[in-house]
Chain A
C-alpha cells in the first residue's frame, strides 16, 4: 500500500473552529451600508390569472425605496437550461402555485417591506387547480402551462433488450405500485443574497449558492446582462442538499431591486419562506413489474413512473432522467423498460434534492426485491448478490461501471449487522431490512459538460495557495481538497491557503452537486498541484544538481534522497523563480469528463456518461410498538463503496447525516398539501429527526480505488440517503409483516396495517 501524508487521515474540517465560535461569515451575516431589505409578494391562490397589479399605495409608504413587478423585468423565462425554461422571476400572466412570485418591495427595513406588501393590490381571476399528477395527465384537466399538452412536461421511454421475451422467460412475475412524498431540504441556513448594482451596471452578488459560476450564467441569461458584468461570491454556506443549485427568482429580484433603487438589497428567507417557496423532492408513483427465475435471476424489469413536477420545471426533467438511469442500472438485468412522465401540478415545484430521483427509484425497486426474495423463499442478501453489478461491466442500458464494490457492501454490511444470527433468533416486533443502490460518484457529462477548475500557486514567500471554483456547502470539500493538495506536496494541509467560490478569482466550477466535487474538483486540484510540484522539482534539480527522480519533498523543503543535509525550501525556489527567472509558480487543473462514448444516446435515454458509479448497502434494525404503530430504528449499518476515503471522518459525517435524512423521509418527513397549500411549513409539524431519534449508525467504507478518481476516490454526498428508506420499510415488514408501499411509514399506517393482518 502506498504511503500518504494527508490523504486518508481523519482531519476535522478546517473551518470547524470558526463555525463553532460563530466567527464564520455566512451570506446571512452580510450587511452593507445603505442596504435595503426585500420582501416578496406571493400568490395566495394555487392557480389564477393575474388581471392587474396596483403598487401605487406601496410606493408611497415611507421607507419604501423600490417596488418591482414583471414590468420591471426582462421577462425571460429560465430553468436548468433554456430548453425547459418556464419560470419568470416575477410572473406576468398567471400564478401557478401558492407562493408564486408576483411583486417585490425594497425598503429600509423588513417590517416596512412587509407592510408595503399588504398595500399592493392584485386582481386575480381564480382558475381551477389540479394537485394530483395522475389527474393532471387526464384529458380535460386544467392547463397549467399553455403549450404543454396534458401537463406532461417531459416523457421518457427507454427500452433495452426485449421486455416481452424477458418476462416470458421468467418463472415468476411480480407487480406492485409504490409512492413517495414531498420532502423539504431543511438546510440550516435559509436562502439569502445581497446584491449591489453599480452605476456602470456591474453587479456584485453575495449568495449562498451551490454553483456560483453556473449561477452567473443563469443570471446573465434571465436578466439579459452580460456575464462579464456579474460577480458572484459565495461565503460560508450552511447546507444545500440540492436546494441551492438553481437560479432562484429571489436572486434575480434582488439584483433588479438594487438596480432600481441604486442601493444594496438583501433578501433572506424566513423558515416559512423556505418551506413555501423553495424546491422540494419530487413525489412519485412507480408501478413496477419484475420477472424472475426460480434461482433468483431477474430476467426483466419494467417501471412506469409518474413524477409530480409541481408548477415549474427547475431540475425536473433531469431528475426524471436520473430516476430512469438509476432504476435501470442497478443489478445485471438484460431486458428493461422504463416509461416516465414529469407532470405539472399547481403545487410547490420540485428540484434537485439529495439523490436526484434515485431515492424514489430505489424505494420502489428495493421494496420489490424484498417481495421477490420472500416469494422465492430466498435470503434477500443472496437475491441481491445473485444479481449484483460487477466491476468493469457495461449495463444493459449502457452505463459504464469501472470500480464496483456492491458485493463487498452486501457481505460486509451483512456481517456488521449480525444478520445471520439475528434472523435466526428473531424476536416479535423486531426486524432487519436491507437495501442497496447505485448512484453517480462524480456527476455526469450527459448535458455536455462536467467541469471543475483549480489553480495552485506558490508565492515568492513560499505561501502555497490553492484556488477552486467549488463551494464547500458544509460537507467539507475545503478540507479534503486541501488534503489532496497537501498530499501531493507532502505538506501539512493547514499550510495551504484556500480561495473558493468566487467568479472573479477562481476558475469555473460547475458547482457542488451530483456528488461530483471530490471526483471532479479533486481531479483538477490533483492536476494543478502536480503541475506545480513538477515546477518545484525542476527548479530544485538545477539548484541541487540532482535528477528530479532523486528528489524528495517534506515540510516545504526539497531534499536529495539519502542526503538530508542538502535541501532547498519552497520559498527559496519560488523566490528564485519569481525574481531571477521572472516566472511564477502556478499550476492549472481542469477536469471536464469523462469522454462521451458512442454508446451514449440522449434521445433513447440509453447510456449515461458518468466518470464513476458508487454503490452501497444499508441494513436497518427496527422495533415496532404494536399498540401505536411507532417504529424505533435501533441499529443502522451503512456500507459504501466510495473508491477511497480522502477523509474517513468527513465521510462518516456525510453518511450519518444522509442516513438521518433518509430515516426522516422514511418515517416522519412529509410536506403535506391541502388544495395546493402546504399545511405544515414549520419545524413543529414538518418533522426532521432530532438528536434523540437518530440511532447508532455504523459506517463501513469499502475502498475499491477507482481507476479514474483522484487518489481513487469517488463521491459520497448524496448516495448515502438513497437506500435508507427501503431498508427501513423492509425491516418493518420483517418485524410485523406489514408492507408499507407509500412513504412515509407513519405510525398510523403501520397501526392500520397491523389491524388488517
Chain B
C-alpha cells in the first residue's frame, strides 16, 4: 500500500473544503471498497478524508419521504424494525450484501459512489425512484439516482462534490417488493444478475397499478427496465403479460461476457428472474 495522509474532519463543511483543497483525495466511509482497492494497489490516494467524524449523516429519518444519511450502514438498514415494517424489500436487499462483518462497515453512500454495476443496494434504491443530495463548497443539488451512474465505477460526481443523502419518495411504502440476487453461492457473492421489483397492484383482481423493475450486473450501470414496466403498468398481470414483460426487460439489458457468466446467459437469467420476482410478490400477497 502506498503512503497517504489521513484527514478526519468533524463536519461536512470541513470535509468539502478538504476535498477541494487536496488533489487525489478519496473520501473514506466504510472503507470496504476503498481499502481493498488500496491494498491491491489499484487505488493510490494521496489523501484520505475520513467522514466518520461527521455525526449528522449517519442515520435516517422520515420527513416527507425517507432521508438516509450517506454514512448509514447497510446493517442499520437491514436490522431496522421500522424499515422492515415499511419497506421490507429494502432490508432484504441490504441483507444480500457481503457478510455481516462487511455490512457493519459498508455505508449506502459508499456503495452508491463505488458505482459497481452489481451493487445490491443501488439496484434496490434505483427501483425505489430514489434521489440523491450532492453538496459542494458553493452548491447543493438533488438529482435522480437514475442520472447518477455513468459507467462501471464512475458517477456524475465532480471533484469537490460529496453525496450526503439518499431520499426515498414517500410513496415507496405503498409498494410490495422483492430483491433477488443470483450467484453461484448463497453467501458472500457478487450477483451474476440482481433484480429489484416493486409492485403496486390490486392483488385480488391482478391489476398492476404501477411496477418498477431495476436490474443489476446486466449493463454498465444498474438500470431500470422501463419498457417492461410500461407494458405492465395499468394492465392485468397474467402469465402471458409477465412473460412478455420479462422478454422485454431482457432486451433492455446490455450485459458483458466475462469469466463470471456469458452475456447470453445473463439475458436468459433476466427473463427467469423478472417472472420469478413478480410471481413471488403475487404469491406472498395473495396469501395474505
Contact = CB atoms under 8 A, between A and B. Distances in A.
A462 interface: no
Given A628-B269, A628-B272, A684 B190 contact: yes
Interface stretch (A214-222, A525-533, A689-697): A689-697
Contacts of A270: 39
Contacts of A751: 265, 268
A70 B37 CA distance: 32
A747 interface: yes
Contacts of B261: 748
Interface string B258-288: 0111100100110011011000000000000
Given A668-B184, A690-B187, A692-B186, A748 B262 contact: yes
Nearest to B260: A685
B63 interface: no
Contacts of A111: 1-3
Contacts of B184: 630, 667-668, 687, 746-747
Contacts of B40: 272
Interface stretch (A504-512, A672-680, A730-738): A672-680
Given A272-B40, A627-B272, A680-B259, A692 B187 contact: yes
Given A111-B1, A627-B276, A748-B261, A693 B190 contact: no
Contacts of A630: 182, 184
A628 B189 contact: no
Contacts of B265: 748, 751-752
A583 B265 CA distance: 76
Contacts of A680: 259
Interface in A646-687: 667-668, 672, 674, 679-680, 683-685, 687
B142 interface: no
Contacts of B1: 111, 114
Interface string B1-16: 1110000000000000
Given A272-B40, A628-B272, A748-B261, A693 B3 contact: no
Contacts of B259: 672, 674, 679-680, 685
Nearest to A632: B186
B276 A668 contact: no
Contacts of B189: 687
B268 A693 contact: no
A111 B273 CA distance: 46
Nearest to A672: B259
Interface in A445-462: none
Given A111-B1, A627-B276, A748-B265, A689 B260 contact: no
B141 interface: no
A693 B185 contact: yes
A667 B183 CA distance: 12
A126 to B, nearest CB: 23
Contacts of A272: 40
A: interface residue count bin: 20 to 34
Nearest to A625: B272
A674 B259 CA distance: 9
B188 interface: yes
A689 B183 CA distance: 12
Nearest to A627: B272
A693 B268 CA distance: 24
Interface string B88-103: 0000000000000000
A691 B185 contact: no
Given A672-B259, A748-B261, A685 B272 contact: no
Nearest to B266: A748
Contacts of A693: 185-187
A752 B265 CA distance: 8
A12 to B, nearest CB: 26
B186 A690 contact: yes
Interface in A714-757: 746-748, 751-752
B173 to A, nearest CB: 30
A205 B95 CA distance: 45
Nearest to A746: B184
B19 to A, nearest CB: 25
Nearest to A669: B184
Nearest to A668: B184
A683 B185 CA distance: 12
B114 to A, nearest CB: 14
Interface centre among B2, B3, B265 (most CB of A within 10 A): B265
A732 to B, nearest CB: 14
B175 to A, nearest CB: 24
A270 B40 CA distance: 10
Nearest to B258: A679
Interface string A370-389: 00000000000000000000
Contacts of B269: 628
B152 to A, nearest CB: 15
Contacts of B186: 690, 692-693
Given A672-B259, A680-B259, A690 B268 contact: no
Interface string A683-714: 11101011111000000000000000000000
Contacts of A668: 184-185
B37 to A, nearest CB: 12
Nearest to A689: B185
B182 A628 contact: yes
Contacts of A689: 185
B190 A685 contact: yes
A448 to B, nearest CB: 43
A668 B192 CA distance: 13
Interface in B237-259: 259
Nearest to A693: B186
A26 B1 CA distance: 24
Contacts of A691: 187
B42 to A, nearest CB: 11
Interface in A615-630: 627-628, 630
A748 to B, nearest CB: 5
Contacts of B185: 668, 687, 689-690, 692-693
Given A114-B1, A630-B184, A692-B187, 16 more contacts: A270-B39, A272-B40, A627-B275, A628-B273, A668-B184, A668-B185, A679-B259, A683-B188, A684-B190, A685-B260, A687-B184, A687-B189, A691-B187, A693-B186, A748-B265, A751-B265
Report the 9 A-B pairs with minimum CB-CB distance, sorted nearest first.
Answer: A627-B272, A692-B186, A690-B187, A692-B187, A748-B265, A672-B259, A668-B184, A693-B186, A679-B259
26 contacts: A111-B1, A111-B3, A270-B39, A272-B40, A627-B272, A627-B276, A628-B182, A628-B272, A628-B273, A630-B182, A667-B184, A674-B259, A680-B259, A684-B188, A684-B190, A685-B260, A689-B185, A691-B187, A692-B187, A693-B185, A746-B184, A747-B184, A747-B192, A748-B262, A751-B265, A752-B265
Interface of B: 1-3, 39-40, 182, 184-190, 192, 259-262, 265, 268-269, 272-273, 275-276
Interface of A: 111, 114, 270, 272, 627-628, 630, 667-668, 672, 674, 679-680, 683-685, 687, 689-693, 746-748, 751-752
